Structure 1
Amino acid sequence: MAGNGRLHPLTFFTAIAFIVIGALLAAGGAYLIALKGSWYYAITGAAIVLTGLLLLIRRRSALLLFALVLFGSTIWAVVEVRFDFWQLMPRLWIWVLLALWLLIPFVHRGAMHGPPANPRAARTPLAAAIVLALLLGVGTFFHDPHDRPGRIDVEAAADANQPDTNAGTGRAPGDWIDYGGSPLAQRYAPLAQITPQNASQLKVAWTYRTGDMPGPGDPTETTDENTPIKVGDTIFLCTPHSKVIALDATSGKEKWRFDPQIQSPIGFKHWEHMTCRGVAYYDPAMHAAAAVSAPAEASAQPASDTAVTADQASAASASVPAAPPAPVQTPAQTTALAECPRRLFLPTADARLIALDADTGKPCASFGKNGAIDLRANIGPFTPGGYYSTSPPAVFGKLVIVGGHVTDNESNNEPSGVIRAFDVNDGHLVWNWDSGNPDATAPIAPGGTYVRNSPNMWSMFSVDEKRGIIYLPMGNQTPDQWGGQRTQQAEKFAAGLVALDAATGKLRWNYQFTHHDLWDMDVGGQPTLVDLQTAQGTQPAVIASTKQGSIYVLNRETGQPIVPINEMPVPQGAAKGDRTSPTQAVSALNFNPPRVTEADMWGTTPFDQLWCRVKFRSLRYDGPFTPPSEQGTLVFPGNFGVFDWGGISVDPVRQILIANPDYMAFTSKLIPREKLQEGATSTSETSGIKQARGTPYAYEISAFLSPLGIPCQAPPWGYMAGVDLRTNKIAWMHKNGTIVDSAPLPIPMPLGVPSLGGTMVTAGGVAFLTGTLDQYVRAYDVHDGRKLWEARLPAGGQATPMSYADASGKQYLLVTAGGHGSLGTKAGDYVIAYTLQ
């Protein structure tokens, strides 16, 4: 120890560190007070500065003062967040470490003067404060305030007797022929070999690598979101660069591959993203079972046991056209069928729709021009990469029906979001439905152009083959954040669900979920069709998951709500030249998050937490649906939504819905055109400066993160959840996943992380998910959400898994692990099959 005339160097440096830490905290805290935020940081910062000054003048009271800081911080933290360990820890751990440092003899012995006279009396309160904080940590570590345990009790007979939901469709129970398992999009495999009792025994059966990796010339958002399909003994998949590969379902060995050699006049780097979610399959023997059009009487009238009024039934009947006569097979179509009897339809990143022989992988020359249709036809000019179909088309009867992705926020003069139906044999246009001109469904004239900038449908269709209806989850008219120029026609069909007659393209009904959408609340998930058991009897339902968190349950014949939907008042005050809807539609079945408060701001330390609080207070936020602003607005739920394109899965026998809700806040800021900096750019659809040319504003959008890249709002950020569809209540909800692959240190903290990609369920009572930010595939018991098994993936798994059976009846789980560019998960090119060993 230094002599009585001077400080020990360790005490001196400790004092300086305290003064600096306290000054930074006090300065930030003063700014937070000016924004009408918490006084804690300013007061605590001042106390820490004073602690440092007392150390400089060698006062023992420095230890007493810091004991008070730690005691006060502990009490304040409990008042703010109760007993939530993962919110208490970042508030306290730095102060606990500093307190422990002060108790080191070489540090505090330099403080020799002043009260208390006994050095032990100075150390004891500080030690007590440390013990209290540590006991609080230990006591709360095993308590999870966000967990919602529960169980969905199902009759034993339902567990034991699983019917084949593919019966009558021509699809074998061991196949996964459509993106969502079947046209009903339930993401349900009627296979029961894997159960909660044996799921832990799953092992890798085979691994295949596609060889398609992101390259230096690719856009940041190069993503592998593919869900393969399985037909007979073959698996078909597509890659981000639109390559199609056929694999043997039992061994994973390659049968053939097709490379469309996608092209771009400017290269791909300046595109916003590149992905292929899947291919579609056509078999004349199977699809002949789908009616060309359901009879008007059968498809328009609700079933006798559905809860709809006579007026509703009459209105639905009036909107349905009479069924056209069945088409006659032409000689050319007969030749085409002989050439390619079983077909795959591939949407490419350069806006083509290609028909391939499913047996050989060769283009079907009779389809379109040399096997391809140019989807750029009749939509007008666009920036390369600004229009193409990222998702598989739908097949109904002898039609292949395709939508298209339109780049968000590029300008107010983008391509049409038209839906087009082509003949599966020769590719001629049969009908088109353009939300900007919805009544003109006859094929457009060769020189015509569809309505520019009409809302698009970029996600996956679902099809009710029995009723002849196709369901469209709709986006909105770009740009997303300012809608002052939107047309009445565009407003009618945006951000909702549209039901079309699949044979003619005529409108059956539509229901809007977000009115005058200013928050990018596209309906991203594929609608799920299921016959629900209700108090009024079995009702044919369509279930739509949405970004805002509501799950809308409608009668799929009439569009009338089965689960109540209420119009709720929302914040007002749009930007200049725009408006807001006074209310928004909220379903009684929803995963809508509670309103964010300053106490919900998070961080790894008090410093980034303080930064997040300042940022939160500087943004406009009046709750969900707060309008975009020049000030900057907190958007929560954010642009990825509570539910995105992964949708939900449904066990139609047990009447259980499985979902993976996410909770990540975003920020948006409108930038007047005259204030826009030269060269401002965007790196993906969910970050950077959006030009929105032709409107008064550009805007900036980003995830609400601290300077360390950590979410500003507290965890959990991702869950697995189960809904009992017999009661339409959330039965269980558990946080899901760890930060092992997204934190600076690979520590598997179980905070619950976001997931992109959907769930799938099996007749065995097991659900699967791969989409979390950590690289795992996991299995869950559908009854209570208990995690049954997990396996490490070699790359990010941001795709929806599927399950199938081989010729021997062995059940497999199939996973795509290729990573996601904008989420920053590890890139790869893996397709992995698991089975019981």
Structure 2
Amino acid sequence: MYRSIVSILVLILGVVLAIGGAWLAWLGGSWFYMPLGVVLAISGGLFMARAPSALALYGLALLGTLAWSIWEVGFDWWALAPRGALLVVFGILMLIPAIAIRLAGRGAEARSGQGAAGGFLALSLLVSAGVAGYAVSIDPHDTAGAFPNERMNARAEVETGGVPDGEWQAYGRTSYGRRYSPLDQITPGNVDQLEVAWTYHTGQERTGADPVETTYEVTPLVFDDTMYVCTPFSTVIALDPETGQEKWRFDPELKKPPRQTTQHMTCRGVSYFDGSRAPAPAAAATTTGPDAAANTGATADTETGTAAPQAADSAAPQDEASALAESDTEVTTQAAGVPQNVVTGNAKPGDPNPQIARDRPGTPGSDASCVKRLFVPTSDGRLIAISAQTGEICPGFGGADGTVNLWANMPNVTPGSAYSTSPPLITDHLIVVGGTVNDNVSATSPSGVIRAFDINTGALVWNFDSKNPDSTTPIADGETYSENAPNSWSVSSYDPELGLIYVPMGNQSPDQFGGNRSDAVERFSSSVTALDAETGQVRWVYQTVHHDLWDMDVPAQPSLIDLTIDGATVPALVQPTKQGEVFVLNRETGEPVLPVTEVPAPEGAVTGDFSAPTQPVSTVSFNPPKLTEADMWGATPVDQLYCRIRFHELTYDGRYTPPSLSGSIVYPGNFGTFNWGAVAVDPERQMMFAMPVYLAFTSKLIERPDETERMVTKDGEPVFNENFGARYASEMGAFTSPLGLPCQQPPWGYVAGVDLTTGKTVYEHRNGTVRDLSPLPLPFKMGVPGIGGPIVTRGGVAFLSGTMDYYVRGYDMQTGRELWRARLPSGGQATPSTYMGKDGRQYLVVVAGGHGSTGTKAGDSIIAYALPKGT
């Protein structure tokens, strides 16, 4: 029975490889699988017949596979394993003594033949084991290197925007977006002594009823001996940073938008404003009409807030947007593609676009607790001001309820289709808000407008509509912004000395077709744009992808750093991108500081569209080598063969292969080599620490018969990628095998260190294990994907928790080597922060709540680490 089972398994494997190999060869791929399958099938048949030659033939197949594999991929263990590991397992099973004895029979001649054949197979297995042992001992994907000691010891005065060394006051610690802390208590010499100081549970966790993209991505803020976090549901919690004890929580009583039109439930953080350091607020307007603007320094009108927890004796009226936010009406797609109608909301075809009232701002409250404020973006379209001291509403920002309604003047109002997932940017008197607009739902989406409000009153000061970029004067009451204008969903940066705000821009829907984009859309799509902080006027634009057809939004906060180039100090901006380029620009002019070259790009866009003839490549580039069939991967030869077949069936001419009707490979995919977690830059050592990720995706266009019919989703499902009103719907997803594994071989994730003065990548090491990605908890260090960002410290240690295995890690910034790691209870897809406690200890704080899109385990943990007391 045992012999029969092994024989059948080998026979089936041979038949599958022979048939699949013939298909692959017909597609123009490798011919090896077809003869290998034939030999295995014959060997399986002979083994069932108890012929000794079965073992010799199998040994020959094993050695042939080994030689072919080395020829294809060299001594790369994780590339060799799927080609030969299963064959080795079957070979061992064929050598089990019990089977060998039965095969040998009773005759001496039979035993002799069996022994010779078995010896040859055993030798083949030993050779395979020797090659495997050698391959495991080396890492062909590792780039070893180290920053010189003099660079690591560099010290310089750097601008911090007034943020004390021991605090973390903004998403990137300061408005410069560096994710760098001047603290140096934790060093490479003691980081392995870090231990859990406290753990806190928010009590709010992702469930199956929430959108898939429900994620804990918050970076905790710490100042004035208080830590502030928000949950995916916009609840803000204040904690004692030394003990983790809750001080207060603010619940905005979120009205969850319809699931069909809600892509994200995310809060990457709240924003902090210290009114004690800011100019005195202007007197509130007391008259009506246009002249009221003169009393506030802004427009006479502003947006009123939706119903929210209100301060005592306040009674702000509920407006039309409030009703929309609270509506439980099911979503319809019947109005898709109809201009000036709700695209996928609860209006009927022909209904006018809802007009949201814009009442005059309220008078800023005199409550001393609101001198220091937090601003909370919510997924139902509100921006709320609360006291950093008490968590109570701060009346006067937009009205008595302390709320600005972000749906005001929006076209195509659809609950759940536009909201802020990232913390707004704060200047000394403005709060600047961008936001998410759902990708690929409709060609008539809400606007991606960026707005600046008076920090005290909530009065609209300027608006940047990328389809109408020159008109930044506050929009008139009753008018609407341009529909489907490119948006900025990530985090902006601010240089107060230059008076410039740096905005990472996205694209308009659909992402995969650009045949009807206007000149303004083409100009701002997938760019980093510098706006005048006072007026919103464009100062410069740098486009990172020309005519983006791949959803390569600029996803990350720009990092502002002064660099020493050829002996001169240059005000620079470091902009990571999804496609793997890191552009280092002069932040005054937008000109490249490190060279950028335009290189030819693939052609072949669908009818009615075009592709850009060239694309920019930076000196700092993490663009991976072009995929080949040999790069296809799997757990076994079978799913690897599947990926090889798919590689030839899909269109692929390298990076920037246009989407097609038959399906194209997009590599790197829109998961991003870098995403919202960005990079960390050290302004003293002038270096960058990063987590580049590599995953291939596929993109297929499906021609729509009309503007409203569902093409890629079913009734009741979220309507993403339908592109109502556009020419094509789209099918997109990771390029994976039937087992759900990436079709391209690992590593899929690294850590890297870059010298920003030269653009040289000093080191690059695979990062993370498959412990939480495989059915068995195997700690193989394959280099796994991740989302979330790193931080760096003056102490010479970088920290990162974003990998898809559940660990927080500490790295030596000089070499990039992992020095410490601690197990997390769930996915840590958030950027950590670090601070100094009143007890004199430096803390590291990590959020572990999981990420719906990556499938990591959900949770609600906030965990702080510190060195043991007395260290």
Regarding TM over 0.5, the answer is: yes
Corresponding position of 1:356: 386
What whole-Å deviation, never above 9, does each CA across 1:36-62 have from its counterpart, x for those lacking one?
A: 111111111100111123234443222
Counterparts of 1:64-463 in structure 2, within 5 Å, are: 64-108=56-100, 109-110=102-103, 118-155=113-150, 159=153, 161=155, 163=157, 165-166=159-160, 169-264=161-256, 266=258, 268=259, 271-288=262-279, 335-336=365-366, 340-369=370-399, 370-463=401-494
Q: Are the aligned partners of 2:442 and 2:510 in contact in 1 as well (CA < 8 Å)?
A: yes
Corresponding position of 1:625: 656
Report the alpha carbon displacement of residue 378 of structure 1 after superposing the two structures with TM. 0.7
Q: In the aligned structure 1, how far is the partner of 2:434 from the partner of 2:82?
A: 46
What whole-Å deviation, never above 9, does each CA across 1:159-199 have from its counterpart, x for those lacking one?
A: 37565642xx3321111111101000000011111111111
2:551 is matched with which residue: 491, 506, 520? Answer: 520
What whole-Å deviation, never above 9, does each CA across 1:214-260 have from its counterpart, x for those lacking one?
A: 13421111100000111111111111000011111222211111000
Q: In the aligned structure 1, how far is the partner of 2:666 from the partner of 2:606?
A: 15
Q: Structure 1-normalised TM-score?
A: 0.91
Counterparts of 1:756-767 in structure 2, within 5 Å, are: 756-767=787-798
Report the alpha carbon displacement of residue 265 of structure 1 after superposing the two structures with TM. 5.4
Q: Are the aligned partners of 1:336 and 1:425 in contact in 2 as well (CA < 8 Å)?
A: no
| Residue identity in the other structure for 1:237 | V
Q: In the aligned structure 1, how far is the partner of 2:115 from the partner of 2:280?
A: 87
3-state SS of 1:690 partner: coil
Query: Which piece of structure 1 moves more, 546-555 or 17-26?
Result: 17-26
Q: Are the aligned partners of 1:217 and 1:269 in contact in 2 as well (CA < 8 Å)?
A: no
What whole-Å deviation, never above 9, does each CA across 1:615-644 have from its counterpart, x for those lacking one?
A: 111110000000000111011001111100
Counterparts of 1:538-617 in structure 2, within 5 Å, are: 538-617=569-648
Shift of the 637–226 alpha-carbon distance from structure 1 to 2, 3 Å rule, reads: same
Q: In the aligned structure 1, how far is the partner of 2:595 from the partner of 2:817?
A: 30
Corresponding position of 1:737: 768
* Runs (5+) with no aligned partner, structure 1: 1-8, 291-323
| Residue identity in the other structure for 1:681 | T
| Residue identity in the other structure for 2:645 | V
Query: What do you get for the CA RMSD once the two structures are aligned?
Result: 2.5
Query: Which piece of structure 1 moves more, 546-555 or 119-128?
Result: 119-128
Q: In the aligned structure 2, how far is the partner of 1:689 from the partner of 1:230?
A: 37
Q: In the aligned structure 2, how far is the partner of 1:177 from the partner of 1:453?
A: 33
Query: Which piece of structure 1 moves more, 800-809 or 638-647?
Result: 800-809
Counterparts of 1:810-825 in structure 2, within 5 Å, are: 810-825=841-856
What whole-Å deviation, never above 9, does each CA across 1:771-819 have from its counterpart, x for those lacking one?
A: 0000000000111001111000111110001111123432111111110
Q: In the aligned structure 1, how far is the partner of 2:52 from the partner of 2:649?
A: 40
3-state SS of 2:90 partner: helix
| Residue identity in the other structure for 2:430 | L
Q: Are the aligned partners of 1:164 and 1:190 in contact in 2 as well (CA < 8 Å)?
A: no
Report the alpha carbon displacement of residue 155 of structure 1 after superposing the two structures with TM. 1.6
Q: Are the aligned partners of 1:337 and 1:425 in contact in 2 as well (CA < 8 Å)?
A: no
Corresponding position of 1:29: 21
Q: Are the aligned partners of 2:711 and 2:722 in contact in 1 as well (CA < 8 Å)?
A: no
3-state SS of 1:29 partner: helix
Q: In the aligned structure 2, how far is the partner of 1:181 from the partner of 1:10?
A: 63
Corresponding position of 2:33: 41
Q: In the aligned structure 2, how far is the partner of 1:587 from the partner of 1:122?
A: 57
Q: In the aligned structure 2, how far is the partner of 1:271 from the partner of 1:326?
A: 36
3-state SS of 1:355 partner: strand
3-state SS of 1:139 partner: helix
Q: In the aligned structure 2, how far is the partner of 1:264 from the partner of 1:789?
A: 40
Query: Which piece of structure 1 moves more, 196-205 or 334-343?
Result: 334-343
Q: Are the aligned partners of 1:547 and 1:644 in contact in 2 as well (CA < 8 Å)?
A: yes
1:492 is matched with which residue: 502, 512, 523? Answer: 523
Q: In the aligned structure 2, how far is the partner of 1:743 from the partner of 1:104?
A: 28
Q: Are the aligned partners of 2:17 and 2:37 in contact in 1 as well (CA < 8 Å)?
A: yes
Q: In the aligned structure 1, how far is the partner of 2:719 from the partner of 2:747?
A: 25
| Residue identity in the other structure for 1:539 | V
Report the alpha carbon displacement of residue 289 of structure 1 after superposing the two structures with TM. 12
Q: In the aligned structure 2, how far is the partner of 1:326 from the partner of 1:591?
A: 48
Q: In the aligned structure 2, how far is the partner of 1:289 from the partner of 1:618?
A: 65
Q: In the aligned structure 2, how far is the partner of 1:638 from the partner of 1:48?
A: 37
Q: In the aligned structure 1, how far is the partner of 2:384 from the partner of 2:763?
A: 43
Q: In the aligned structure 1, how far is the partner of 2:221 from the partner of 2:27?
A: 54
Corresponding position of 1:54: 46
Query: Which piece of structure 1 moves more, 817-826 or 56-65?
Result: 56-65
Q: In the aligned structure 2, how far is the partner of 1:361 from the partner of 1:815?
A: 22
Matched-pair identity in %? 50
Q: Are the aligned partners of 1:688 and 1:700 in contact in 2 as well (CA < 8 Å)?
A: no
Corresponding position of 1:505: 536
1:681 is matched with which residue: 694, 713, 724? Answer: 713
Shift of the 265–545 alpha-carbon distance from structure 1 to 2, 3 Å rule, reads: closer
Shift of the 804–12 alpha-carbon distance from structure 1 to 2, 3 Å rule, reads: closer
Q: Are the aligned partners of 2:298 and 2:459 in contact in 1 as well (CA < 8 Å)?
A: no
Q: In the aligned structure 2, how far is the partner of 1:372 from the partner of 1:567?
A: 46
Instruction: Count residues with an aligned counterpart.
Output: 791
Q: In the aligned structure 1, how far is the partner of 2:142 from the partner of 2:393?
A: 52
What whole-Å deviation, never above 9, does each CA across 1:114-134 have from its counterpart, x for those lacking one?
A: 999633222221111111001
Q: In the aligned structure 1, how far is the partner of 2:714 from the partner of 2:410?
A: 24
Q: In the aligned structure 2, how far is the partner of 1:98 from the partner of 1:689?
A: 45
What whole-Å deviation, never above 9, does each CA across 1:536-568 have from its counterpart, x for those lacking one?
A: 501000110001111001100011110111111
Q: In the aligned structure 2, how far is the partner of 1:810 from the partner of 1:604?
A: 46
Shift of the 265–170 alpha-carbon distance from structure 1 to 2, 3 Å rule, reads: closer
Q: In the aligned structure 2, how far is the partner of 1:289 from the partner of 1:728?
A: 44
Report the alpha carbon displacement of residue 383 of structure 1 after superposing the two structures with TM. 3.2
Residue 836, structure 1, aligned to residue 867, structure 2: yes
Query: Which piece of structure 1 moves more, 169-178 or 458-467?
Result: 169-178
Query: Which piece of structure 1 moves more, 572-581 or 805-814?
Result: 805-814
Q: In the aligned structure 1, how far is the partner of 2:298 from the partner of 2:66?
A: 79
Report the alpha carbon displacement of residue 17 of structure 1 after superposing the two structures with TM. 3.0
Corresponding position of 2:742: 711
Q: In the aligned structure 2, how far is the partner of 1:391 from the partner of 1:682?
A: 30
Query: Which piece of structure 1 moves more, 71-80 or 666-675?
Result: 666-675
